[in-house]
Chains A and B, each alone.
Chain A
Amino acid sequence: MTAYIVRRLFATLPVMAVVAVFVFFLIRFAPGDPAAIIAGEDATAEAIAQVRAKLGLDRPFMEQFFIWILQMLQGDLGVSIFSNLPVSRLIVQRVEPTVALTLSTLFVAVALAIPIGVVAAWKARRLVDRLVMGFAVLGFAMPVFVLAYILIYFFAVQWQLLPVQGYRPIAEGFWPFVESLILPSVALGVTYMALIARITRASMLEVLAQDYIRTANAKGLATDRVLLLHALKNAAVPIVTVIGIGIALLISGVVITETVFNIPGLGRLTVDAVLKRDYPVVQGLILVFAAAKVLVNLIIDISYAFLDPRIRY
């Protein structure tokens, strides 16, 4: 197992290198010029050219690329063109909100979706099952921002139970931290809940049709033991895969939720940096996302071996 993990970690290096090359050139070939944005509305073309020169953006692409790669090899992600702050600081500032939102969303989604999916499979083709599947379709169909605005309107504006927006770090107290995550987690979690519930149901239906489940039932085992110990464990591999994909998507793809609830996470940082053409920040973020996705995939692959003893690396 250790050799496998080490091998997988080394295998990430070429992946990261390809991502680095790709993102560097992609963003530079995209239209837009950070110097023009910095110089502002009333700047002349001459003033913009001066800013561009000072930022080194007038140098040949290859020269800029090698400078960046050299910085990267020294562990330096560079400095934001706009704020003049290190990219690493900007990313670190945004990690906590994103990780907190990701984990709370997964908690909400997994805690509700797996029991719902198990019950739906157990009561397949009955009313409960149809209700669960109806909810799943609704969860997929409803855009996150629509649900977010509905939640804000009722829970924050009308009933004033929860804040409209913002993120409170855990250092400011546990309740403010939880309070700031409830609405975004629910808004974002519904889609994942629907996805995980459907996968759980499908996977459980397949397992529940197996001979050993019939045997377990014939031996008179209690239903909960059959469902949870015998069926769910064997249905877990596809469920864990979907949860893993969810983590990867949530880390980099919660832009809409972060925007509507004004959570200063990595998704918003990415969009802002792309819109402003803040090249060093975009490059740093994409590398961090790539690394995170590789790591999550690795953890999921390793977890398979624990869930299914037949899988060996």
Chain B
Amino acid sequence: MLKRIFAGALALAIPFAPVQAQEKVLKAVMHADVRVIDPMWTTQTIANIHGMLVYDTLFGNDAQMKPQPQMVGKYDISPDKLTYTFTLRDGLKFGDGSPVTTKDVIASLQRWGKKDGVGIRLMSFVDKLEAVDDKTFRMVLKKPYGMVLESLGKTNSSVAVIMREKEAMTDPQQQVKESIGSGPFNFAKDQWVPGSKAVYVKNPHYVPRPGNEPPSSFAGTKFAGVDRIELIWISDPQTAMSALINGEIDFFEAPSIDFLPILEKAKGVKLMKTGTLDSTHGMIRLNHLQPPFDNPKARQAMYHLINQEDFLRAIVGNPAYYRVCHGLITCGSPLANDGGSAMLKDYNPKKALQLLKEAGYKGEPITVLQATDHVTITPATQVLIQAMREAGINVDAQAMDWGSVVSRRAKKDPPAQGGWNIFVTTTGGVGSANPVLHTWIGAACDKGLFGWPCDAKIEELRNAFAFAQTDEERKKIATELQTRAIEQVVYIPFGQWTVPLAYRADRIDGIVPNTGLAVLWNIKKK
């Protein structure tokens, strides 16, 4: 009543607002704002979310992480597993109305294969990628690489989206200037306000998979359930929560864990844990190039400082949303195993210091990059620093914003010259469930990720996994790989967790319980 009186009084005094068109608009707040529109150019998750709205992929991995055709209508694998022949579905068109042809597909795959780690690996086994006609193309391999379809359907890191040939010819080190795909929505670039709002409108040329297949993660029929999607960036989590409760937004991808009890009780609001795997995996990365962690014994000593519950309570708090995981391959995934996990279960700070001393540590400062502005990495780093200090380790905590951590961790210099010894980060649960997609488990020396673990056997096992032909063989290799990676301490895990998304159940339905990446297709407004 108060609202009516208040609004009515002002409305009488003020000339009227224009009538709003009755289009169905989904207003969503994601974990970050869309600043980059090229999902191949960056590995940012938000760029992938943008990419999955605008573009389509040849394959989509389902909830069991099995690749299923998406843009592809039919495909054939030769008996020697060296030749893959793909035929696109009929009638596929880009958002501008132009048809999708194999020229677009081949150019897109070639660009992706020069930029993305998994794409580079796949392309290293590709002998020929050639068009048979406008709808059919062939991929000929040098060796029977077993991860072709999984790679094409992956959703972590840079996704193998299909662009128009015109954009796909852009240097992979440069961002495309237009974002036009054959996905369910068109990107309204003229309405884009970076740092505030990204707008998507229904793509009238989109052709969904026929047969109304039930959605299963990134597989199945996907469609535009609303006319328009607005990704609104609200940086303050409390404001975003209030906006959801007030009905100003419909979907909140990453509510702050502290606010979940309030959201659980809010009228019309529901929480939903998407997917079958935990979305985030915590890791402590040691610098293998600098003492003391150039010595495996010193690295292994750090295991004895980690009580995962301490980290998870600090980050998440509620045990309903976290899980202790003494493995490097995502717990709960088909390849999860106990290989080497005994080393991760012996929490003993005194032993940690003793082993460090045996490895030659004489109390030199150990530089920890301490992010101060990250919702999960900041508390995790604080717990680590506290654990190290309590054990008697001399810690040089270098406080900085996350942007500075990201920059500094790339430096290979000694800590005193701007380098580092330890930083804390996270990775996605889906990528970590597969040894090939899980780039942090790699040990490719200079070509690997920051910390630069270097171990030929780990890389051999990752390659062997990619060529394994049966699930049993894959599981066996995954166990060996994890055992070896834990021995070498490629990183120290501190558990995994999932923050549920929150949405207005009284206004929307049809959220696809995707694993690893929030997507907004198939959502309908009531």
Contact = CB atoms under 8 A, between A and B. Distances in A.
Interface of A: 31-33, 36-48, 50-51, 53-54, 80, 82-85, 90, 93-94, 149, 152-153, 156-157, 159-161, 163-166, 172-176, 178-179, 259-262, 264, 268-269, 272, 275-277
B72 interface: no
B17 A164 contact: no
B403 A262 contact: no
B242 A42 contact: no
A297 to B, nearest CB: 29
A262 B447 contact: no
A84 B242 contact: no
A172 B18 contact: yes
B41 A157 contact: no
B17 A175 contact: yes
Contacts of A152: 239, 242
Closest 7 A-B residue pairs measured CB to CB?
A173-B17, A40-B43, A264-B196, A33-B407, A83-B194, A82-B35, A31-B404
18 contacts: A31-B404, A32-B407, A38-B42, A39-B43, A41-B45, A42-B440, A44-B449, A51-B173, A82-B36, A84-B37, A93-B196, A94-B193, A159-B2, A163-B246, A164-B246, A166-B232, A173-B18, A275-B373
A32 B195 contact: no
B173 A54 contact: yes
B43 A42 contact: yes
B80 interface: no
Given A161-B2, A173-B17, A275-B401, A43 B43 contact: yes
A262 B246 contact: no
A259 B235 contact: yes
Interface string B236-277: 101110110110100000000000000000000000000000
A308 to B, nearest CB: 37
Interface in B437-490: 439-440, 447-450
A130 to B, nearest CB: 32
A53 B171 CA distance: 13
B239 A261 contact: yes
A52 to B, nearest CB: 10
Contact of A40 (B42, B195, B408): B42
A42 B11 CA distance: 52
Nearest to B401: A275
Interface residues of B, number: 68
Contacts of B79: none
Nearest to B440: A42
Contacts of B427: 41-42
B520 to A, nearest CB: 19
The A interface, classified by DSSP as helix, strand, loop or mixed, is helix
Nearest to A85: B194
B15 A268 contact: no
A198 B236 CA distance: 32
A150 B196 CA distance: 24
Contacts of A174: 14-15, 17
Given A39-B42, A39-B43, 14 more contacts: A32-B407, A38-B44, A42-B431, A85-B192, A160-B246, A163-B246, A174-B17, A259-B239, A262-B243, A264-B193, A264-B196, A268-B235, A272-B33, A275-B403
Which one of A165, A173, A264 has the highest number of Cβ atoms from chain B below 10 Å of its Cβ?
A: A165
B28 to A, nearest CB: 14
Contacts of B16: 173, 175
Contact of A264 (B47, B117, B171, B197): B197
A41 to B, nearest CB: 6
B403 A172 contact: no
Which one of A31, A48, A53, A80 has the highest number of Cβ atoms from chain B below 10 Å of its Cβ?
A: A31
B3 interface: yes
Given A36-B406, A174-B15, A90 B3 contact: no
Contact of A80 (B157, B194, B407, B449): B194
A154 to B, nearest CB: 11
B157 A38 contact: no
A41 B281 CA distance: 13
Contact of A42 (B35, B157, B248, B400): B157
Nearest to A157: B242
Contact of B410 (A33, A38, A149, A272): A33
Given A51-B173, A84-B175, A178-B10, A259 B194 contact: no
B404 A44 contact: no
Contact of A44 (B177, B242, B447): B447
Contacts of A163: 246, 248
A90 B41 contact: no
B239 A31 contact: no
Contacts of A32: 401, 403-404, 406-407
